[in-house]
Every structure is written in structure tokens, then in C-alpha cells.
């Protein structure tokens, strides 16, 4: 006897519910294989589930599409900050600036290494220190560091911050849709199980093959086990020979 296989993908879940709903619209209530309560529940749930899946896919697609642009913005902000710090250190090495200049940026006065800018948090933290430190130093009468100037660094840094906020918002929305989909998916599975149980129960008095055929019209999916499939094939072959 073939066994019923419940859908295990969102596309299959949507198809199962749509097929049953369309079949239900073709028949009067007294001839439907599932209850009016179930069809009402199906009519309310299916659009909600389908809509949330579409929102998730759209947000995920936007996130993937913008990922390259975001990484490029991140890389450039890191490069400009790194170059600014190196130019400042070179000016100190030449004697154009005193070693105490580093203190304006929160750097050790006896250290000429560039601080780690590997993570986004490090980049944001040091970016703010460098920009605020240079602006304060200039206000105190210090000569601006050039190539790059702090104005150019600031533009790159603020562009990165905007991209980071947008990227994070997309990631947050994707996570929210994912979590909601997990909840809705459980409800979909419960609804399809109830739906298919009612359909099979409505046709339980019919012979197996007829019951299977009618149930499949409502969207039920059946599979033969390996041994059963072989027996069915043999039986069908014998039937064709005899006829």
C-alpha cells in the first residue's frame, strides 16, 4: 500500500494548500472532502504564509545583492583610515609633528603601529577617535594632515556607517522573517495534516486505488515503498499481457 508523504519544503506546502483550496472552490459544501471550518482556516492562513515567504525572499535577495557594495564600502573606509594614521606617523618620523600628536587620536605616543581595524566595531571605534581627534587638533591650531585629509576620511567613514546601518537593518528583517516563517511553517504542517486526514477519511470507504486517485486530486502525495513499487510494476505488466 502506498504511503502518504507530507510536504517538506515551503514550495510544496504552498502547492498542497492551494490545490486543496482550488478543489474546494469547485464543489458545493456538502460534497467537499474536508470541513467548512478547515477551508475557512485555509483561506485565512495561506495568504499570510505565502506573503511572509515572499517578504523573506525579497529581503534576502536585497541583502545578497547589497553585500558586495557593503564590503567595498567597508574596505575603502578601512583603507582611508589606515592611510591617514600612516601619514601621521610618517610626519612624526620626519620630525614635522611631535610624537604627542598621537594622543589626540587615543594612540600611544611611543607606538607607530596602526591599531587593528579588522572588525566593524574596531573600525567604528577608531574611526570616530581619529576623526574627532584630528578635528580637535586642528581647532587647537595644528596643521591639517593631508593625503588623505580628515574631510576625505570622514566622507568614507560616514558612507560606511550608512551602509552598515542599512546592511544591519536588512539582516535584522531577514532574521525576523526567518523566525516568523519557522512559526508559520509549524502551523502549515498542522493544517496540512488535518486537511489530508479529513480528505482520506471522507474517502475511506472507497477501494484503495480509487481513494488514492481522488485524494491526489486534492493535493495528497503518495509514494510506493521500493518492494511495493516492484510488485505494482509486475502486476501492471501482467495486466497488459492478459489484455
Centre a 10 Å sphere on the Cβ of residue 184 and count the other Cβ atoms it contains: 20
- In DSSP terms, 241 is beta-bridged to none
> What are the tens digits of pLDDT across the range 176-217?
999 999 999 999 999 999 999 999 999 999 999 999 999 999
Averaged pLDDT score across all residues of the chain: 91
Integer angstrom CA distances of residue 140 from 32, 50, 133, 143, 144: 84, 61, 11, 9, 11
For the whole prediction, is pTM greater than 0.85?
no
Confidence label for 235 from pLDDT (cuts 50, 70 and 90): very low
CA distance 60 to 56: 6
- In DSSP terms, 223 is beta-bridged to 3
Instruction: Give the start-to-end residue ranges of the domains of the chain.
Output: 3-236
pLDDT of res. 229 = 56
Burial class (CB in 10 A: 0-12, 13-18, 19+), 214: middle
In the DSSP assignment, the letter for residue 34 is S
The yes-or-no verdict on residue 164 having pLDDT over 50 is: yes
SS3 3: strand
Greater confidence (25 vs 119) lies with: 119
CA distance 69 to 91: 33
> What are the tens digits of pLDDT across the range 125-150?
999 999 999 999 999 999 999 999 99
The yes-or-no verdict on residue 238 having pLDDT over 80 is: no
User: If residue 174 lies in a helix (H) or strand (E), which one and from where to where?
Assistant: helix 150-202
> What are the tens digits of pLDDT across the range 67-125?
999 999 999 999 999 999 999 999 999 999 999 999 999 999 999 999 999 999 999 99
Amino acid at each position: 500500500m502506498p504511503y502518504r508523504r507530507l510536504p517538506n519544503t515551503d514550495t510544496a506546502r504552498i502547492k498542497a494548500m492551494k490545490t486543496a483550496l482550488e478543489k474546494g472552490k469547485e464543489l458545493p459544501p456538502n460534497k467537499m472532502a474536508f470541513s467548512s471550518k478547515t477551508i475557512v482556516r485555509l483561506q485565512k492562513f495561506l495568504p499570510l504564509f505565502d506573503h511572509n515567504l515572499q517578504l523573506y525572499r525579497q529581503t534576502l535577495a536585497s541583502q545578497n545583492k547589497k553585500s558586495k557594495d557593503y564590503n567595498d564600502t567597508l574596505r575603502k573606509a578601512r583603507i582611508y583610515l589606515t592611510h591617514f594614521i600612516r601619514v601621521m606617523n610618517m610626519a612624526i618620523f620626519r620630525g614635522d609633528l611631535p610624537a604627542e600628536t598621537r594622543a589626540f587620536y587615543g594612540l600611544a605616543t611611543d607606538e607607530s603601529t596602526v591599531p587593528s581595524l579588522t572588525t566593524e566595531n574596531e573600525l567604528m571605534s577608531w574611526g570616530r577617535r581619529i576623526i574627532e581627534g584630528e578635528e580637535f587638533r586642528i581647532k587647537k591650531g595644528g596643521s591639517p594632515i593631508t593625503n588623505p585629509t580628515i574631510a576625505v576620511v570622514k566622507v568614507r567613514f560616514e558612507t560606511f556607517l550608512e551602509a552598515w546601518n542599512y546592511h544591519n537593518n536588512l539582516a535584522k528583517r531577514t532574521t525576523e522573517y526567518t523566525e516568523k516563517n519557522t512559526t508559520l511553517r509549524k502551523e502549515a504542517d498542522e493544517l496540512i495534516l488535518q486537511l489530508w486526514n479529513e480528505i482520506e477519511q471522507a474517502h475511506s470507504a472507497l477501494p484503495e486505488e480509487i481513494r488514492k486517485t481522488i485524494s491526489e486530486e486534492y493535493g495528497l502525495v503518495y509514494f510506493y515503498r521500493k518492494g511495493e513499487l516492484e510488485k505494482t510494476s509486475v502486476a501492471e505488466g501482467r495486466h497488459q499481457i492478459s489484455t
